[in-house]
Amino acid sequence: MIAFPSCRKQEPIEKIIDESLAFSVKQYTLMTEVMKDMPDLLPRTIDSAGALVTAGSGWWTSGFFPGSLWYLYEYSNDEKIKDAAMLMTSRIEKEKDNTGTHDLGFMLYNSFGNGFRLTGNESYEEILLAGAKALSTRYRPVIGCIQSWGTSRNWQCPVIIDNMMNLEFLMWAFSISGDSSYYKICVSHADTTLKNHFRSDYSSYHVVSYDTITGKVQVKQTAQGAADESVWSRGQAWGLYGYTVMYRETGLDRYLNQAVHIADFMISHPNMPEDMIPYWDFNAPEIPDAKRDASAGAIMASALIELSRMTDTVSGRKYLQVAEKQLRTLASSAYRAEYGENGNFILKHSVGSIPGKSEVDVPLTYADYYFIEALGRYRNLLN
Ligand code: GLY
């Protein structure tokens, strides 16, 4: 059992959740005002001068802002937020036939998927099914995985741990269309990743590249971690989230076991800070001065809330306790922005890529998205 110091009476979590969601509605209303006059663009982060940085629909993070607006509409029932969600979602439609990226789960399922869940809009369903078809063209049967990136460096067929996050989208396509090829792709990808991406301690590599002829592993490396053998924090969070979803969608115990092992590895890691927001890499050489990654903390919190419902009571309580700690930390002034500041993003202090010297200690749309998702999930539990 995790023991957290309790030197003073804490605010009830219900209050923190409601206050954070209400704040997010206000902050993202400001962001919407700015974005509505920027056709085709979506928010991405801020630059070193604090100015908004945007991205086109083809950037991997395009779906997070519309997805957050859908969650905030679900929370607030505010028609203005719904209109904004529809507008921002429409900006991504052209990606539905994009076979040049594996990030369609993030781009389309978070935006159109949440929109479809909340409105039943049939045109969203068509767009999603087109997107799922496009994504499935990247499945490589000889390897058993969806290809992440194109051939580069010495990588013939790179598959990154983040790719586990596409499976929820394809499992949705299976449930809607009844096409079992989506199910088979998901199970094959999850099983192959389980076999090749993880070390014996359940930490994961970032990139595993496969030989396209033999289907065998070529190399195990990193693009965003501190070193090939280090433990890149967001990658661990993607894996945790992905296997939790795969257990929800298939009921296969091996995915639950994997999610539990990943969760336990992260929670009990000696380099996990007391406030439960990971350093950008569990083995970052600069620890304890290493940058934190709020996005990893938010993704982990959201996954742990779901996982807490799937395990025995003692483990479930532990996972929920960690998620609650993460939400309290992220909702505090250490991480949560002031109204109108931080480029109108919600959370501060995320890391895109330290090796790439890009988006270091900045707000990121996906940190906001999983923070809002986690708040909503915890709220649903309490209700
Ligand atoms: N999928 C890219 C990232 O997590 O940074």
Choose the catalytic residue: 83, 97, 103, 361. Answer: 103
Q: Which CATH code for domain 1-37+232-383?
A: 1.50.10.10
| Parallel/antiparallel/unpaired status of strands 350-353 and 358-362 | antiparallel
How many whole angstroms separate alpha carbon 378 and alpha carbon 71? Answer: 13
Report percent pLDDT > 90 for the chain. 97
Q: What is the mean pLDDT of the chain?
A: 97
Task: Write the pLDDT tens digit of every residue in 29-51.
Answer: 999 999 999 999 999 999 999 99
The dihedral built from the CA positions of residue 45, 243, 276 and 204, taken in this order, carries a sign that is negative
pLDDT at position 1 over 60:
no
pLDDT at position 2 over 60:
no
Question: Which residue has a Cα nearest atom 1 of ligand 1?
Answer: 162
According to DSSP, residue 212 is labeled T
- The mean pLDDT value for 60-85 works out to 98
| 148 and 104 Cβ atoms separated by less than 8 Å | no
Give the number of the atom of ligand 1 that is nearest the alpha carbon of residue 235.
4
Pocket residues: Cβ below 6 A from ligand 1: 60, 162, 224, 234
The boundaries of every CATH 1.50.10.10 domain in the chain are 1-37+232-383
- For residue 79, with 0-12 CB atoms within 10 Å meaning exposed, 13-18 middle and 19 or more buried, which class applies? exposed
Residue 24, SS3 per DSSP: helix
- The mean pLDDT value for 95-101 works out to 98
How many whole angstroms separate alpha carbon 330 and alpha carbon 324? Answer: 10
Give the number of the atom of ligand 1 that is nearest the alpha carbon of residue 238.
4
The overall longest dimension of the chain from CA atoms, in Å, is 61
pLDDT at position 6 over 80:
no
- The mean pLDDT value for 48-59 works out to 98
How many whole angstroms separate alpha carbon 109 and alpha carbon 155? Answer: 28
pLDDT at residue number 12:
97
